[in-house]
């Protein structure tokens, strides 16, 4: 679940937009999905399913999203911002570093189930 969330953060903006459109969800779903999965990071490291070296990178992604959510600029949470906003760019870069460190290639973006 955590790697799937990282894959979404690491995807090119055009792929993220297509994914958002497919599931009819707003861009903040990318950050929320990461936040939900990030809560498991410590346990995954303890169980040996995730390398300890990526934990600081995951924490930095979390911090980027926390900082972004504290700013009242709603333009940061648009589809267009995925390609232009510095926060999204930083999260993208860190997520790519996580995947590289874990030896994971880019996978297709995961499916999600929306409960409305």
User: Which pLDDT score, from 0 to 100, does residue 71 have?
Assistant: 80
**36 belongs to a structural domain:** yes
Averaged pLDDT in 10-residue chunks for the chain of 116 residues: 92 95 93 94 93 95 95 86 96 95 74 59
Query: Is residue 1 within 8 Å of residue 40, measured between CB atoms?
Result: yes
Whole-angstrom Cα distance, residue 34 to residue 32?
Answer: 5
User: Which pLDDT score, from 0 to 100, does residue 1 have?
Assistant: 86
Backbone angles phi, psi at 40, to 5 degrees: -90, -5
User: Which pLDDT score, from 0 to 100, does residue 96 have?
Assistant: 94
Whole-angstrom Cα distance, residue 55 to residue 51?
Answer: 7
**110 belongs to a structural domain:** no
* Domain encompassing residue 40: 2-101
Question: Which positions ≥6 away from 29 have C-beta within 8 Å?
Answer: 20, 23, 112
User: Which pLDDT score, from 0 to 100, does residue 74 have?
Assistant: 79
- How many domains does the chain fold into? 1
């Amino acid at each position: 679940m955590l790697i799937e969330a990282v894959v979404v953060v690491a995807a090119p903006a055009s792929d993220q937009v297509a994914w958002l459109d497919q599931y009819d969800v707003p861009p903040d779903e990318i950050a929320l999905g990461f936040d939900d999965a990030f809560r498991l990071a410590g346990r995954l490291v303890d169980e040996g399913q995730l390398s300890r070296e990526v934990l600081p990178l995951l924490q930095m992604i979390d911090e980027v999203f926390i900082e972004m959510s504290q700013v009242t600029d709603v333009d940061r949470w648009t589809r267009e911002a995925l390609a232009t906003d510095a926060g999204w760019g930083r999260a993208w870069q860190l997520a790519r570093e996580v995947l590289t460190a874990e030896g994971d290639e880019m996978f297709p973006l995961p499916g999600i189930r929306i409960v409305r």
